[in-house]
Chains A and B, each alone.
Chain A
Amino acid sequence: MPNLLPCRVLLISTVFLAETVFLTGFGVLHAEDRAVDVTKTDIATVQFATVQFAKDVRPILNEHCVACHGGVKQAGELSFGYKEHVFGPRESGGPIVVPGDPDASELIRRITTDDDTERMPPVDEHPEGLSAEEIATLVQWVRQGAEWGEHWSFVRPVRQPLPVVADPDWCRQRIDQYILARLEQEGLAPVPDAAADRWLRRVTLDLTGLPPAPVKRIRFIEDVREQGEEAYAVAVERLLDSPHFGERWASVWLDLVRYADSKGLGLDGRRSIWKYRDWVIDAFNRDLPYDQFTVEQLAGDLLPEATMDDLIATACHRSTQSNEEGGTDDEQFRVEAVVDRINTTWQVWQGLTFGCTQCHDHPYDPLRNIDYYHFMAFLNNTADSDLNSDAPLLQTPLDPSDYETARKLDQQMEAAEQTLWQTGRKLVTDQSLWLPVRGLEAAATDDTEMAVEPSEEGDQYYTVGTVYKNTGFVLNAPLPEELAQLTALRFTAFPLDPQASLANPEWGFVLSHLKAELVTPDSEEPVVIEFAHVIGDEPRPLLDPQLSLNAEHDDGFAAFSRIHHPRTAVFVLKHPVAVAPTTRLRVTLEFKRSSGGSHPLVARRGSLATSGDAQWTSWLNDAQLTDTRKTLAQLQERRKAIPSVALPVMRDRPENIARPTYRFDRGNYLNKAEQVSAGTPSVMPPLATEGVPNRLDFARWLVSDENPLTARVAVNRFWAQLFGIGLVETQEDFGSSGEPPSHPALLDDLAVRFSEDMNWSVKQLLREITLSSTYRQAAVIRSDIRERDPRNRLLAHGPRNRLPAETVRDQALAVAGLLSEKLHGPPVHPPLPAGVWDPFQAADKWTTAERNDENRYRRSIYVYMKRTIPYPMFASFDTPSREFCTVRRITSNTPLQALMTLNDATFEEAATALGRRMLAGAETLPEQLKFGLRLSTGREPSADEVAELESLYQQLLEQQPQAQQEPAAETSEEEERVTPEEQAMAIIAGVLLNLDEVLTK
């Protein structure tokens, strides 16, 4: 019970406390904080008169309160994530916060009371409690009016005024002004510009992932001398236009969308999805605006007039893992893929840890558990379902110049298929044409137990207990009395439990063969009915229903591999068959397929209906439709002639068999709660749509002007690639548990300009950053800065980071003169250390490209990326194995890396080639060494470096006789004669390729 008297006393004491803190406490705190970590000063500089919720109050609540009063645990039904909990009426006691009145606010009472049993946070679990400063901040916040603000990243960014700087001449670009203002505020001076060629190496590696060729370097130095500043712009332009630009930036994107050339879990077999990788490369090269880039990948298939490229783009979310292990549950791994798509989408585009809400409300951010499932509804209806075939697949022409023709053919074929299907389907759904079959008798061809029950639409057979693989059902029934002739037979399959199967779909079926006979008591031989056509219940099924007529083929009409709804196929007779009243129908259904060699795919409940209507025969013989069928066949022939590769893509299931979406209780897919519709989180801007929103609406919502996160997250990612660390360091978490931005105004300004002024042009964004003074600075780490800002968040010097794995390898090949510049194509197989390739699936071969095959020397982005056997060079240099979305790589520095670049076959080959290149490139030893140094470091070498290597060369030559006494190593691909000079120079080249400077940008 609140006690007035102590409260009044307390109020006085808190005011006193607060002011004391104001006078002394913050000053001290501020100074200390600055000494430790400059980025924290944003938070620490709490100006007492202007306590801001998001900046000052939210961090305190997150640190001390939300573990119990957050999204996960809402002790006392209180979560500090939700405004209504904090200000709303409460069942017991007064509101948590009464704006302007700390005295009446339960929050303040509970954090200041002397009563250990009441004081928050509870003393037993949090002995440290709240500090005096924190209490003062909260009190002041309430007194000020308890303004409630959403976390900064949920508020739409706006253009920011340019800060005033003392040295405007230093700034070449708008971004420089923000950087300099902060440096000036901290009393730091930027480092002078890098030498022209060092900048050139940096920007060439950053924009293309390759080192500058020596000739480019010489020309650039001349250009700078002649044209000055203009030369830099010209160089950046040239690099942005390079086809290698796309290769470099695609590899960043592929980490995010967990691209791999294998399927993951289980067998990790090959997946042919490289056409998507090429699409990403091209998208960067043609500077596809980031908004379109987004929409095409998430919903390219739903775009009106979707092009082949739009469809290829949707393979983005087909790079989720699938499980081919025998005996697995397809639905489990389908759901896991959908969950991965949700989490990845939110990580990549929104920088939010939305995945938390799969099981509960978000612990820190105002995202609710239910939001997760509303969002799932956008992605839950795609036709893929963890099938070994990776279906649905798009036949993608190998040659992009065929894209347009192929797409046109596909569209014509789809139109023809639609026409045929719809005209047929109209008859199928016309109930007046059908007579249900009653008096059904059912028996299985094996031990499966069967029963029959009547229903309004005719008798239904169903199985009791276990069904076996390869089972067959024989259905016997009198024909409906009214029936004079038979023109069509309808088979309907139901889930065994139709209601439960909507939420937890049962295994589906594949009707491998349907055989129908007319049995007349008088005649001995039953008459086998001849069918001409099967009309399934979807226009583009994964398996062809016609195959149910082919006894030799296991495929056919199917609910593959799960059944949610009743499924109908109609078998149209070639010719009408007259039936006598005593004629009985005998239908044999065969089910030969199983999932993963384990779960039999059998229609466990079904019914039959018959039609004698003449419309079926006329549908079959309709001249126009016959023409359409003929045209379709011709189109199919022409399409087949275009060499293509099958690519897994996104496609939605048709509405009549759409999967409903349910919330999972506690995130477990086996425990379905209420059904949900598609929608975006309520804390985010509303999604504009007419009718039921779909994936396309969602994709457009992501890149709409109102979305507060997409542009911020994108510019931050590009920034981080160039500077080694993002403006928001936690690129993966822009939520309130992530790090605040080091330069909030810069981030917002850049985000707004990226989406508006630059029209989402990535090249324009990169142009501005790479031409800035911030980026131009030398990478010299002054000792004062190293102490104060070890991670270079203030950018008082240029970026200096270890190159990514791909660049380390590509650079070595380029410097050695081995690199193939060929773009695109299927994965390649460069040398691999012996014993590494031991795939679980033996059929997955690694055939190493020989020395005369340029695929041995292709860029790293083309190397076959197998999830369970990562390419060792990439793995040791921190490339993720692409199981899940990886937002940033954490760079390590290990002896295994040294062993790799010293001894690995690729690097050995590169060193040998570079050594030969050096020997051939100049007459004298010093010139040869200088040539090598220039090639590898992209700058003019110093005399002492040359002297060091000269001395090494002499020592190595002196050692040579010794070397020849060594027993010859066992393995060598080609016994080439290596002269002592070549051997020595190869070792020197190896030194060059291992220089810290070379491995670093």
Chain B
Amino acid sequence: MPNLSLGSELAFRQLEQRTRRYFLGECATGLGALWLAGSNQTASAQGDATTATAALHHVPRAKRVIFLHMIGGPSQLELFDHKPELVRFDGKQCPKSFIESQQFPFIRGIPNMMGPQYPFAQHGESGAWVTDRLPHFSQVVDDVCFIKTMQTDQFNHGPAQLMVHSGQARIGAPSIGSWVTWGLGSENENLPGYIVLLSGGRPPRVGKSLWGSGFLPSVYQGVQCRSQGDPVLNVSNPQGVTRDARRLALDSLRRLNERNHQLFGDPETLTRIAQYELAFRMQETVPEAMDLSAEPEHIHQLYGAEPGKVAFANNCLLARRLIERGVRYVQLFDWGWDSHGSSEQQAINVGFRDKCREADKSMSALLIDLKQRGLLEDTLVVWSGEFGRTPMRESRNGERKFVGRDHNPHAFTLWMAGGGVKGGTTYGETDDMGYTAALDPVPLRDFHATLLHLLGIDHTRLTVPFQGLNQKLTTVIPARVIDKVLS
């Protein structure tokens, strides 16, 4: 598509019609190769990965994204944000300035400060500080760029998760993956361009809205793939319908539809024929892509994956397989990082510890595996929660056994690795308590602008008119690309 900033839907539609007419009329080989309804995918439909990115605003450093979202808000103070001063304040009353005119979901009164619950050490050539909860991850820190000063303006999970993925706190705006696939398309005509994988036993609370296409056409919404049952809804034939029988049926369907097209001359009919053919191919490609048993044993061991299970480790490995096949945007959600200290699962000293053990190996394996396959160069891996946690202890109802922290929108750690990111670096500095940004705060919109920049997109030009406004992922507030994290 010549222009990412579409003037109006009218223009969009006309272009769509025009390309489709060209495509269907004069380019017969392309029949059925329209994954995205003939919008901006005609180039990639030919299977040529380079043409899909021909319309970029500048040379991209990353071609695809894997986003690991730890649902609940993992504690930066027990993972990456080393705060030795906080140790000294452990158990002391929190300064008034921390709680004055602040809203917390659960902290009431004057809470006590709480020191880091796990020891930190420096790792790699870069000397990045990581806790002892992540022994595997400590080995790959030189590929990672930490942003310690992420900020959001929402302190409840639902709105904050929406902020991370759509830039807005309310449901109804497109998610990052939708913007990206809308702008860039997919590199594989037989797989969805935007795939979502869930683990942790619960879905994120705002559900599908986190991978919704908002006011972009619905083809750009994320497609949830599953490790159990049909990997994509209805990808299996009904009982008793063989693939051969389906082929026969689709041939008949095509001939009848072609006849219909001759009668009415509606280009939509040709698109529909193409989509049925693609669906047929997807019935093979999707299960193949999602089949972990095809991976050798040492890879399973690297990730800690167990085929057939719904697990974060499996999803990390799947993410690599999907990326390898040209999927543009893979979004993982792993539930269970909301460490309030109000129950065993939510305790930093119990549930959080277990979550770290589960995630450490697989997220590190993902980086190692991508790197050894040469994919890390142009694949961007992002790891984040929706907010951070307070340096104050939350002790709801006087809880003593379990240790936890409340939500903190003022500072959380996000890390990136791969395509175009300067590995072995840290950006931003929090205050001595790790409560808020002391140096270089990064609002989510700046992260969004940076992510798009890495993909070759100028965030100010990826817009779509809706409700009287040229809507952007970075919203109406000015955003900036964080140059210092770029390699």
Contacts and interface: CB of A to CB of B under 8 A. Distances in A.
A645 interface: no
B87 interface: no
Nearest to A343: B467
B229 interface: yes
A905 B171 CA distance: 29
A220 interface: no
Given A892-B219, A898-B279, A881 B266 contact: no
A893 B259 contact: no
A363 B468 contact: yes
Nearest to A362: B468
B264 A893 contact: no
Contacts of B257: 995-997
B272 A800 contact: no
| B109, B255, B265: most-surrounded residue (chain A CB, <10 A) | B265
Interface string A104-133: 000000000000000000000000000000
Contact of B279 (A878, A899, A911): A899
Contacts of A868: 203, 205-209
Interface stretch (B243-251, B299-307, B324-332): B243-251
B231 to A, nearest CB: 10
A426 interface: no
Give the residue among A467, A782, A835, A904 with the most B Cβ atoms within 10 A. A835
Contact of B248 (A363, A904, A956): A956
Given A465-B109, A893-B275, A963-B245, A903 B218 contact: no
Contacts of A987: 241, 245, 248-249
B22 interface: no
A890 B217 contact: yes
Contacts of A328: 105, 156
A326 interface: yes
Contacts of B263: 780
A729 B156 contact: no
Interface string B156-184: 11110000000000111000000000000
B17 interface: yes
Contact of B219 (A325, A355, A894): A894
A902 interface: yes
Interface string B236-271: 111111101110110011011101110111111101
Contacts of A720: none
B266 A781 contact: yes
Given A266-B156, A872-B233, A739 B17 contact: no
Contacts of B235: 899, 903
Interface string B119-154: 000000000000000000000000000000000000
A364 B242 contact: no
Contacts of A735: 468
A900 B265 contact: no
B249 A952 contact: yes
Given A894-B275, A895-B35, A945-B259, A833 B233 contact: yes
Given A781-B264, A894-B37, A908-B238, A959 B248 contact: yes
With a 10 A CB-CB cut-off, give which of B14, B275, B468 has the most chain A CB atoms.
Answer: B468
A90 interface: no
B245 A466 contact: no
B242 A959 contact: yes
Contacts of B275: 893-895, 897-898
B242 to A, nearest CB: 5
A106 B251 CA distance: 69
B421 interface: no
A267 B233 contact: no
B468 A833 contact: no
B331 to A, nearest CB: 16
B282 interface: yes
Taking chain A's interface residues, is the majority helix, strand, or loop, or is none over half, making it mixed? loop
B108 interface: yes
A327 B105 contact: yes
B191 to A, nearest CB: 10
A466 B279 contact: no
A969 B256 CA distance: 30
A996 B272 contact: yes
Contacts of A836: 233
Interface in A943-990: 944-945, 948-949, 951-952, 955-956, 959, 962-963, 966, 968-969, 971-972, 978, 983, 986-988, 990
Contacts of B158: 265-266, 323, 325
A37 B156 CA distance: 48
Contacts of A475: none
B294 interface: no
A380 interface: no
Interface in B65-108: 103-106, 108
Interface residues of B, number: 89
Nearest to B468: A353
A791 interface: yes
A469 interface: yes
Contacts of B230: 833-835
B249 A881 contact: no
Interface residues of A, number: 108
A732 interface: yes
A779 interface: yes
Given A781-B265, A875-B208, A900-B233, A895 B244 contact: no
B264 A963 contact: no
A679 interface: no
Contacts of A952: 248-249, 252
A484 to B, nearest CB: 43
B469 interface: yes
Contacts of B109: 447, 465-466, 468
A833 B218 contact: no
Contacts of B293: none
B108 A355 contact: no
Contacts of A994: 253, 276
A945 B263 CA distance: 13
B236 A893 contact: no
Nearest to A834: B229
B282 A995 contact: no
Nearest to A783: B265
A870 B228 CA distance: 20
A567 B368 CA distance: 64
Contacts of B157: 325
B171 A948 contact: no
B110 interface: yes
Contacts of B233: 833, 836, 872, 896, 899-900, 904
B28 interface: no
Contact of A899 (B203, B242, B259, B282): B282
A861 interface: no
A890 B108 CA distance: 47
26 contacts: A323-B158, A325-B157, A467-B108, A732-B467, A733-B467, A786-B21, A790-B17, A790-B18, A800-B268, A833-B234, A840-B202, A867-B207, A876-B218, A881-B171, A881-B212, A890-B9, A893-B275, A894-B218, A894-B219, A894-B275, A895-B275, A902-B279, A903-B238, A904-B233, A948-B255, A996-B273
9 closest Cβ pairs, A-B complex: A327-B105, A868-B207, A353-B468, A466-B109, A898-B279, A895-B279, A969-B239, A903-B234, A908-B238
Interface of B: 8-10, 13-14, 17-18, 21, 35-37, 103-106, 108-110, 156-159, 170-172, 192, 202-209, 212, 217-219, 221, 223, 226, 228-230, 232-242, 244-246, 248-249, 252-253, 255-257, 259-261, 263-269, 271-273, 275-276, 278-279, 282-283, 397, 407, 467-469
Interface of A: 37, 264-268, 321, 323, 325-329, 336, 347, 353, 355-356, 362-364, 447, 465-469, 596, 598, 600, 729, 732-733, 735, 737, 739, 779-783, 786, 790-791, 800, 802, 833-836, 838-840, 867-870, 872, 875-876, 878, 881, 883-884, 890, 892-900, 902-904, 908, 911, 944-945, 948-949, 951-952, 955-956, 959, 962-963, 966, 968-969, 971-972, 978, 983, 986-988, 990-991, 994-997, 999-1000
